[in-house]
């Protein structure tokens, strides 16, 4: 049984009468600092102005940071190692991002010639780097740090676009995300299933959507002008596409901040502002058909066809493969020449390059990546 659209609108606060939450009108109306040079165009059409800016931005900094960084085995470690939820939750006692320095990070991005920064506000483990106002599974509750607020403030101060990555389509911690029987990436392969997992029927998924859309509203209400919301992981959508009311979620984002760009990898509806495939511009429909069937494959093909001709983004990482910090890769990070070649290749494909670094457990940027980004900026100048 699929979720009723009217019920979703009612319970998630997307109905027209509930959109103007405190602070929303101020956040949406303010001229975003990264668009300050385009004030006349912004006054006429904020969304088109943001698209034009993105088409010339060229280069952005991606950061995968969270509890998983402590273990130094990549951002999927909870899933790949089947770490029990109570054991994973104990990482909060060790989460002390004392050297997460948004001032340094944004200066480094500028020095490298970047125009925007994208931080994992929530990854698949469900842990948030902002004050969600819901429960205590977030950095503000754990270590009294709202890392999204810190980064957003520095981006706005320096004229950088601030994007927030948000794992809408997978959550290994939330009680009411859908189970593995619909999609293996939905949950780690726990045996037996943890008591925390309470999804029993499709209607239960609304409880997850209430929290997830509440998170997105918070990011677009309390953090000033946001350059974009970057949604992941795409395969989480294809496991149960009927459960995600993406058109309504996109409408909420654009209502809250009209200039805010939307991306979801190769695409979900085809109405995204840009595609952001990993490492190369490529379709996913064959893989989706194999895993999830013809109907899902057709959705993937249609979305990619609608998005592939836009000015898009290639995302790649400084480590060989993973995105969160992996200690075993300390000697394998990309060098300046490799990054410059990636930039050149992205430009030939009409794409920006969103280059990822996995901060160390204390929140600092890996010193090899710092040196590389500075050298890239020096050569580009």
Residue 29: both structure tokens together = 């109306």
Confidence grade of residue 30 (pLDDT, cut at 50, 70, 90): confident
By DSSP bridging, strand 161-167 and strand 228-232 are parallel
Single out the residue of 91, 261, 77 nearest to residue 161, CA to CA.
Answer: 261
pLDDT score of 189: 97
What b/e readout covers 210-227, taking b as 16+ CB neighbours within 10 angstroms? Answer: bbbbebbbbbbbbbbbbb
Residue 167, helix vs strand vs coil? strand
Residue with tokens 């103007």: 20
Residue 18 has pLDDT above 50, yes or no: no
Q: 148 — phi, psi (to 5°)?
A: -65, -40
pLDDT in tens, 154-202: 999 999 999 999 999 999 999 999 999 999 999 999 999 999 999 999 9
Residue 4 has pLDDT above 60, yes or no: no
Model pTM score: 0.93
Single out the residue of 257, 358, 274 nearest to residue 314, CA to CA.
Answer: 274
Residue ranges and CATH numbers for the domains of the chain are 5-380 (3.20.20.80)
pLDDT in tens, 208-240: 999 999 999 999 999 999 999 999 999 999 999
Residue 1 has pLDDT above 50, yes or no: no
């Amino acid at each position: 049984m699929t979720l009723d659209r009217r019920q979703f609108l009612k319970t998630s606060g997307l109905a027209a009468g509930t959109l103007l939450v405190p602070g929303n009108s101020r956040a949406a109306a303010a001229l975003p600092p990264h668009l300050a040079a385009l004030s006349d165009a912004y006054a006429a059409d904020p969304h088109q102005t943001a698209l034009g800016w993105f088409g010339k931005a060229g280069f952005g900094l991606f950061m995968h940071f969270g509890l998983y960084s402590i273990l130094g085995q990549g951002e999927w470690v909870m899933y790949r190692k089947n770490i029990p939820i109570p054991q994973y939750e104990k990482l909060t006692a060790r989460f002390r991002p004392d050297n997460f320095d948004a001032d340094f990070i944004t200066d480094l991005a500028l020095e490298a010639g970047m125009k925007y920064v994208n931080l994992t506000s929530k990854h698949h483990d469900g842990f948030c780097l902002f004050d969600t106002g819901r429960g205590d599974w977030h950095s503000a509750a754990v270590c009294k740090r709202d890392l999204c607020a810190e980064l957003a403030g520095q981006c706005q101060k320096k004229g950088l676009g601030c994007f927030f990555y948000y794992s809408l389509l997978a959550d290994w911690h939330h009680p009411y995300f859908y189970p593995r029987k619909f999609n293996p990436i939905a949950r780690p392969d726990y045996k037996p299933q943890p008591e925390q997992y309470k999804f029993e029927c499709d209607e239960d998924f609304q409880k997850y959507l209430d929290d997830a859309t509440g998170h997105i509203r918070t990011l677009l209400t309390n953090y000033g002008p946001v350059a974009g919301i970057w949604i992941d992981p795409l395969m989480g959508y294809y496991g149960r596409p009927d459960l995600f009311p993406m058109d309504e979620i996109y409408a909420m984002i654009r209502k809250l901040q009209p200039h805010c760009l939307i991306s979801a990898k190769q695409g979900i509806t085809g109405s995204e502002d840009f595609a952001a495939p990993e490492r190369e511009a490529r379709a996913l429909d064959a893989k989706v058909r194999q895993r999830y069937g013809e109907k899902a494959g057709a959705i993937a093909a249609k979305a990619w066809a609608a998005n592939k001709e836009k000015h898009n983004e290639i995302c790649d990482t400084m480590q060989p493969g993973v995105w969160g910090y992996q200690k075993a890769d300390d000697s394998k990070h990309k060098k300046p020449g490799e990054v410059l070649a990636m930039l050149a290749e992205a430009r030939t494909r009409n794409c920006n390059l969103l280059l990822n670094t996995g901060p160390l457990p204390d929140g600092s940027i890996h010193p090899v990546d710092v040196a590389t980004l500075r050298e890239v900026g020096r050569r580009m100048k």
